Amino acid sequence: MRVPVSGCTPTMNENGTGGPSYCSALPGWLPRWGLSVPACYWPFSEETRVNDVTETELWRSLHSLLRGYRSAQVVIACNELGVFEALTRGAQPAVEVAARLGSDPESTRRLLDAGVALGLLIKDGDRYANAQLAQVCLTPDSPWYIGHLASLEAAGYERWGRLAEGVRMGRWPEANRQLEERSGWVRRFELGMYDMARVTAPAIAAAIDLPADRALRLLDVGGGHGGYAMAFARRYPNLTATVFELPAAAEVAREIIAAGGMGDRVTVQAGDFQRDALGEGYDVALLFGVLVSESPAGRLDLLGKVHAALVPGGLVVIRELWSDAADPVRSLEAALFSLHMLLSNGVGDVAMLAEARAWLDEAGFEESGELAVPEWAGSSLLVARKSAGG
Q: Which helix (H) or strand (E) holds 311?
A: strand 310-319
Q: Is 107 in the site for ligand SAM (CB under 6 A)?
A: no
User: Whose Cβ is closer to ligand SAM: residue 39's or residue 246's?
Assistant: 246
Residue 175 falls in which region: left (phi positive, over 0), alpha (psi -120 to 50) or beta: alpha
CB-based burial, 87-105: b 16+ in 10 Å, e otherwise: beeebbbbebbbebbebee
- 258-281 burial: b if 16+ Cβ within 10 Å, else e: eebebeebbbbbbbebeeeebeee
Per CB under 6 A, the segment of 149-157, 171-179, 287-295, 363-371 that binds ligand SAM is: 287-295
Helix %, strand %, coil % of the chain (to 5): 50, 15, 35
The answer to whether 366 and 315 are in contact (CB under 8 A) is no
Check binding of 115 to ligand SAM (CB under 6 A).
no
Using rule CB under 6 A, residue 272 touches ligand SAM: yes
- 260 sits near ligand SAM (criterion: CB under 6 A): no
- Quick check: 108 and 94 in contact, CB under 8 A? yes
For residue 37, CA distances in Å to 5, 32, 156, 195 come to 18, 12, 37, 51
Radius of gyration of the chain (CA): 27
Query: Of the two residues 38 and 143, which places its CB atom closer to ligand SAM in the complex?
Result: 143
Query: Binding residue for ligand SAM (CB under 6 A) from 197, 218, 342, 383?
Result: 197
Asked if 290 interacts with ligand SAM (CB under 6 A), we say yes
245 binds ligand SAM (CB under 6 A): yes
Using CB under 6 A as the binding rule, whether residue 348 contacts ligand SAM is answered as no
Q: With respect to ligand SAM, which residue has the nearer C-beta, 162 or 225?
A: 225
Q: Interface with ligand SAM by CB under 6 A: which range of 118-126, 259-267, 269-277, 371-379?
A: 269-277
Rounded to whole angstroms, the Cα distance separating 159 from 21 reads: 42
Q: What is the largest CA-CA distance in the chain?
A: 88
Cβ proximity to ligand SAM: between 266 and 290 the closer is 290
Q: How distant, in Å, are the alpha carbons of 116, 148, 172 from that of 130?
A: 9, 18, 39
The Cα 14–Cα 301 span in angstroms is: 63
Stretch that binds ligand SAM, among 109-117, 146-154, 176-184, 282-290 (CB under 6 A): 282-290
Residues in the interface with ligand SAM (CB under 6 A) total: 14
Size of the chain, expressed as the number of residues it contains: 390
Is residue 192 a contact point for ligand SAM (CB under 6 A)?
Answer: no
246 touches ligand SAM by CB under 6 A: yes
Does 367 interact with ligand SAM (rule: CB under 6 A)?
no
Q: Is 222 or 314 the residue whose CB approaches ligand SAM more closely?
A: 222
* Contact with ligand SAM (CB under 6 A) among 19, 115, 222, 348: 222
- Using CB positions, name the residue nearest to ligand SAM: 222
**Minimal distance, residue 270 CB to ligand SAM, in Å:** 9
Write down the least CB distance from residue 269 to ligand SAM, Å.
Answer: 10
Q: Using CA of residue 225, residue 377, residue 323, residue 71, what is the dihedral sign?
A: negative
Least CB distance from residue 242 to ligand SAM, whole Å?
A: 12
**Minimum gap (Å) between residue 261 Cβ and ligand SAM:** 20
CB of 42: closest distance to ligand SAM in angstroms? 48
Site map (CB under 6 A) of ligand SAM, residues 66-105, x = contact:
----------------------------------------
Tell me, what DSSP letter sits at residue 352? B
CA torsion, points 291, 296, 301, 307, in degrees to nearest 10? 60
Query: Least distance (Å) from ligand SAM to the CB of residue 168?
Result: 26
Torsion, CA 208, CA 214, CA 220, CA 224, rounded to 10? 90
The residues that touch ligand SAM, with contacts defined as CB under 6 A, are 193, 197, 222-224, 245-246, 249, 272-274, 288-290
